[in-house]
Homo-oligomer: A and B are copies of this chain.
Amino acid sequence: MPLMPVTDSMFLMVETREHPMHVGGLQLFRKPEGAGEDYLRDLRRSLLESDNMRSVFRMRPSRPVNTVGHVRWSRDTDLELDYHFRHSALPQPGRIRELLELTSRWHSTLLDRHRPLWETHLIEGLRDGRFAVYSKIHHALMDGVSALRHLQGTLSDDPADLDCPPPWGSREKPATNRNGRASTSPFALVGKTFEQVAGIAPAAAKVAREAFREHRLTLPMQAPKTMLNVPIGGARRFAAQSWPLDRVREVATAAGVSRNDVVLAMCSGALRDYLIEQSALPDAPLVAMVPVSLRRRDSGDATGNNIGALLCNLATDLTDPAARLAAISESMSNGKKLFSQLSPLQTLLLSGINVAQLGASPIPGFVGNTRPPFNLVISNVPGPRKQMYWNGAALDGIYPASVLLDGQALNITLTSNGDNLDFGVTGCRRSVPHLQRILTHLDTALAELEFATRV
């Protein structure tokens, strides 16, 4: 039974009922043509009968309670699939609104640590005839990027491919080790991450924490204290919507910036409008933490946590959308430069700051006494470029639901999906009232950017 790296086990250690540490994904599907009344019943049965399960979905902490120090994984030899895979239905009238309300509830409850740390819901009852799948998995097993990549890995770009694995399954053959033998360890994937990080993580986390406490590692900017940077409760609200990638692409081309800059400017405009509406816009510009993958593109490894971070000036103090976009683009370029100048160890340290934040956040008084290093996390995760299918059902959307922390009551995560950008907005239900209005403001912000950059 391998030890978890500290960067992973920390997600178990700091979890409390106010701080669930799981990530989620909501997928919307259109039924295949000719699907009959029994389609979902048959789908559910075939999923329950499948024995395709990725090894991480069998892993549970060997000690369920919070403990200091290392935690080991155990393999659950008696996994009750019926517990993890749940059949659910929307109440009338079965709109997206009812789907988001249910997703909000599910994203608020803690995973059972006596079992492998995941749940998947198959959801019927959408009045437009579509169906949905909500999956959640603990951050100690996968970060949000890994979880999205995992879900994407269960899909196919071929509508005739009826061999797609279940949301907890894998397309991969059993892993082979360097000698070409099939690995029989259920921890093969995690073991790899472990080897990559184990030597460095405990020391790095310690150094990062010390550096952060003594301010030796100077942060590039300081964020104002806002209504988003307060202690949070355990309940969540989740909102989701898609925008055409083309609209973002055209603004990026016209302004000569990256697509991610445009996305950040959409968020900036939406946050500015939302905070004005709440009479809570600070004078100083908001700062977003923008995660960057530390994973090598060719590594093919989708488990474990490997995230670096940039801090981005969201320029919410500027009234002009074009000026905001320019300021954001400049901030991201500076951030990128800073990032590329760092050694791998320094990069890990910078990402370690956020881990140190995690470790420090449940300490009473921490939120109140320091200015936040950033106001919220905005994460843009690359997704499939084509229309994807799952056993013939077309994927209409895949919306990420994220972890919140004390002092970080809002998160925006999006992913590209074929011709769309799918946004998932996760908020503390108490601290962020009328969360769904952020969707409207995102729409307005994009329209303003289009207007400002029109040729």
B-contact bits for A117-135, CB 8 A (1 contact / 0 none): 0000000110000000000
B-contact bits for A97-110, CB 8 A (1 contact / 0 none): 01000100100111
**What is the interface residue range for chain A against chain B?**
20 to 34
B-contact bits for A79-106, CB 8 A (1 contact / 0 none): 0100100111111100000100010010
Is A150 at the interface (CB under 8 A from chain B)?
no
Most-contacted residue by chain B among A88, A110, A233 (CB, 10 A): A88
**Distance, CA A109 to CA B105, complexed state (A):** 11
> Residue A92 contacts which of B40, B65, B110, B429 (CB distance < 8 angstroms)?
B40
Spell out A's residues near B (CB within 8 Å).
Answer: 16-18, 40-41, 64-65, 80, 83, 86-92, 98, 102, 105, 108-110, 112-115, 124-125, 233-235, 429-430
Given contacts A91-B88, A124-B92, contact A112 B64 (CB under 8 A): no
A235 and B83 contacting across the interface, CB-CB below 8 Å:
yes
CB neighbours (8 Å) of A92 from chain B are: 40-41, 89, 124
**Distance, CA A90 to CA B65, complexed state (A):** 33
Given contacts A112-B234, A115-B233, contact A89 B91 (CB under 8 A): yes
CB neighbours (8 Å) of A17 from chain B are: 17, 110, 112-113
CB neighbours (8 Å) of A40 from chain B are: 92
**Distance, CA A113 to CA B235, complexed state (A):** 10
CB neighbours (8 Å) of A16 from chain B are: 65
Closest to A433 in B: B80
**Distance, CA A233 to CA B98, complexed state (A):** 30
**Distance, CA A80 to CA B104, complexed state (A):** 15
A64 and B115 contacting across the interface, CB-CB below 8 Å:
no
Most-contacted residue by chain B among A17, A18, A86 (CB, 10 A): A17
Q: What are 28 residue pairs bridging A and B, where the CB atoms are less than 8 Å apart in the complex?
A: A16-B65, A17-B17, A17-B113, A18-B64, A18-B114, A41-B92, A64-B233, A83-B429, A86-B105, A87-B91, A87-B98, A89-B125, A91-B124, A92-B124, A108-B112, A109-B109, A109-B110, A110-B110, A110-B234, A112-B233, A112-B234, A112-B235, A113-B234, A114-B233, A114-B235, A114-B430, A115-B233, A115-B235
